[in-house]
Structures are given as structure tokens and as C-alpha cells.
Chains A and B, each alone.
Chain A
Amino acid sequence: MSLIINKESADKVEKILERFVEESGATYVLLTDMGGGMLFESGADVVSYNGDALAVLSAANYAATNEIAKLIDEESFSLLFHRGNNENIHFTKVSPDVLMIVLFKPFLSLGLLRLKIGKIQDEIASLLGK
């Protein structure tokens, strides 16, 4: 049971992410599997982030947050987001197996960003589905 990403899907996902960064103004976007294995990253600052560590910690953070939701009888939290001074970070489950992490500047609108994420998440999910 492995995730196999073929060339066509990889090309398409990379395109989608590049366009997303361009159109949304996000700093950086990363896709990881729920086990913390980084799948794709895109953005102007790709070299300056440690994508592997970000993927691992985000997947762990996501899973821990889900457990917290269960403890307080919530199915899941609909907004997962941290606000920073220079960078905000937003987490989206795009499929049962894939998590999307978006870094963006605090002056960008969270609502608009979420709209743009909403537009690409299904496509990504189907490209990375089995």
C-alpha cells in the first residue's frame, strides 16, 4: 500500500499549486500525506523553509487537533489557522490522506484565501486519489 504519483498527476498538481500561489498572493504552499511525508511544495521561498519538518509537524499538529475536537465532542474544527507577526499559516484537509498547508502574509484576507483553497482542493484530491 503505497502512494504512487504518476508524472501527469505530478505535473498537474505542480501547475495548480504554482497558479494558486500566483493568484492568491500566498507565500508558500505545501502538500503532505497525513503521516507527515511531504508531497509537493511551491512558492517563492521554497528553499528557505524546511518542507520535510513542516510537513511532519503539520501532520502531527493536525492529528492532535482532531483528537482535541473529539475530546470536546466536536467532529472536527472547520478552521485551522495560526496568526503570526510576519506569516500566517492555514491547514486544510483536502482528502482523507492529504493535508494542505498555506503560508501567507497577515495583510492578505483569510476569507479570500479560503475561497481560493476551496476552488483547488477537490482537483488536488482527485489527482492524488488512488
Chain B
Amino acid sequence: MATINLKDKSIRIKLVYYGPGRSGKTTNLEYIYNKIQENDEKQKGKMVSIDTNGDRTMFFDFFPIDLGKINGFALKLQLYTTPGQVKYEFTRRLVLKGVDGIVFVADSMASRQEANAQSFENLKENLAFHNKTLSDIKVVFQWNKRDIDENLIPLASVEEMEKTLNSKYGYTSFPASAETGLNVFKTVNYIAKETVKHVIALNDIKKG
């Protein structure tokens, strides 16, 4: 749930990286976190991860980013990932509480196409649990792991992934690699901008 504080003139929005297990959600967040730490000493938000032995996400990864001012309001992003494994349904649901924007991280490996589709269905179900639908929030697709050498591991083409996951919605999408950083910031910048616009429009915030 976006929070707008008219006293200190701040807007906070919640962005969640969703997708099947091992599609690269945590890697996206780690990449962003590390780059921000390198480049901006003012950012003090710590990354919080609840995982099993520093590997698989059990609950979520989280960190906040201060984005500076928009329309006179200080903008704060809260980035979360969800766990992908089926058994963590409860925690996935919980992380979606109050979500404003989703990055759906789809795995480009050919063998994971079914898992992508299932996870996307699961997203819709879990939004419904919070009485929300996709149209209440902003969504971007990220076709991740495009860096993989197709001669080693078969990949689904971007066109195929668009067709299976996105033909009904036509959301903006980015081919990406969370490993090399390709389009990782593009993805987060895009969803942040769109979500903020959406929240501002919904709440009729005057320019200041």
C-alpha cells in the first residue's frame, strides 16, 4: 500500500519481484543493492534476507531506496522478492500485501517455461487473496538469463515468452540478465516510474 505523508512530503511505494523459483529475483535485488552501495554513500538502507542457509529465499529479500524528489515529494521505494518454491505460499502471499508494482522475473531457460506460466497464475490468485487484480497495480515483465549461451542450455525465444505470458496483457518487457546487469536498472526504473505515476494519479496529489 503506497503511503503518502503530507507532513514530511514523502511517498513510499512497494515493489515486489515475483516469479518461479530460481528465476533470478534475488540476483536482481543483489545487483541493484550492490551498485547503489558503490555509487551512493547516502543510501543507508540495509538489505534484509530471510533465507535458508544464505541460499534459497524462504520469506523475502528486502531493502529500501531513496529516489530523491518527484513533484516536491521525497520518493521511497521498498523492493521485495518473494520465495518461488511452492511450499512457501503463505509467505508469498504475505509479501504481496499492499503491493503497488510487480516485476515478474521470468526464466528464459526452455525447461522453465511451464514454471513461469504457473507462477504467473499463482500471482493472480495471490493478488485475489488481497482483493486485488493485475489492473489495480503496475506490472513489468523481465525475460531474465538472456546471457546464457544457447549452445549449452536451450532458451525460449523472447517472442515465445511474449506470446505465452504477455499476449493477453501487452505489458512492457525487458530482456535482461541479473547476472551481468543487463537491463536490471532499466526494469526497476521503469516500474518505479510507472507505479509512482499511478499512485499519484489515483490519489490526486497536487504538484508542489
Give the number of residue pairs across the A-B interface with Cβ within 8 Å.
80
Neighbour of A10 across the interface among B2, B8, B45, B90, CB < 8 A: B8
Number of residues on chain B facing chain A (CB within 8 A)? 30
Q: Interface readout for B139-176 with A: 1 if CB under 8 Å, 0 if not?
A: 00000000000000000000000000000000000000
Q: Mark B56-90, 1 if CB is under 8 A from A, else 0.
A: 00011011100000000000001000000000001
Supposing A33-B3, A37-B3 touch, asked if A52 and B64 sit within 8 A by C-beta, the answer is yes
CB of B110 within 8 A of chain A? Answer: no
Chain A 3-28 interface mask (CB, 8 Å, partner B; 1/0): 11111001100000000000000000
B199 at interface, CB cutoff 8 A:
yes
CB neighbours of A10 from chain B (8 A): 5-8
Closest 3 CB pairs of A and B: A35-B98, A10-B7, A2-B2
CB–CB A5/B7 < 8 A: yes
Q: Known contacts A11-B7, A35-B14, A36-B78; decide if A3 and B1 are in contact (CB<8 Å).
A: yes
Q: Are B8 and A35 in contact (CB under 8 A)?
A: no
User: Are the C-beta atoms of A2 and B46 separated by less than 8 Å?
Assistant: no
Quote the shortest CB–CB distance from B75 to chain A (angstroms).
13
Known: A35-B14, A37-B78. A57 touches B48 (CB 8 A): yes
A3–B6 CB distance below 8 A: no
Establish whether residues A3 and B2, one from each chain, have CB atoms under 8 Å apart when the complex forms: yes
A63 contacts B94, C-beta separation under 8 Å: yes
Which residue in chain B gives the minimum CB-CB distance to A1? B1
5 contacts between A and B (CB under 8 A): A3-B1, A11-B7, A36-B98, A50-B45, A64-B91
A56 on the interface (CB 8 Å rule)?
A: yes
Q: Mark A78-99, 1 if CB is under 8 A from B, else 0.
A: 0000000000000000000100
| Chain A residues closer than 8 Å to B4, beta-carbon distance | 2-5
Assess whether A67 is in contact with B203, with CB atoms less than 8 Å apart: no
Which residues of B sit under 8 angstroms from A64, Cβ to Cβ? 90-91, 94
User: Is B46 in contact with A53, judged by CB distance below 8 angstroms?
Assistant: yes
A60 touches B3 (CB 8 A): no
State whether A37 and B98 are in contact (beta carbons under 8 Å apart), knowing that A4-B203, A7-B6 are contacts in the complex. Answer: yes
Complex alpha-carbon distance, A101 and B8, angstroms = 21
State whether A37 touches B14 (Cβ < 8 A): yes
Contact string, B1-26, partner A, CB cutoff 8 A, digits 1/0? 11111111000101000000000000
Q: Does A100 contact B (CB under 8 A)?
A: no
Q: Which residues of A contact B90 (CB under 8 A)?
A: 64, 67
A50-B7 contact given A1-B1, A3-B1, A60-B59, CB 8 Å threshold: no
**Minimum distance in angstroms from A82 CB to a CB of chain B:** 16
Residues of chain B within 8 A (CB-CB) of A56 are: 48, 60, 62, 78
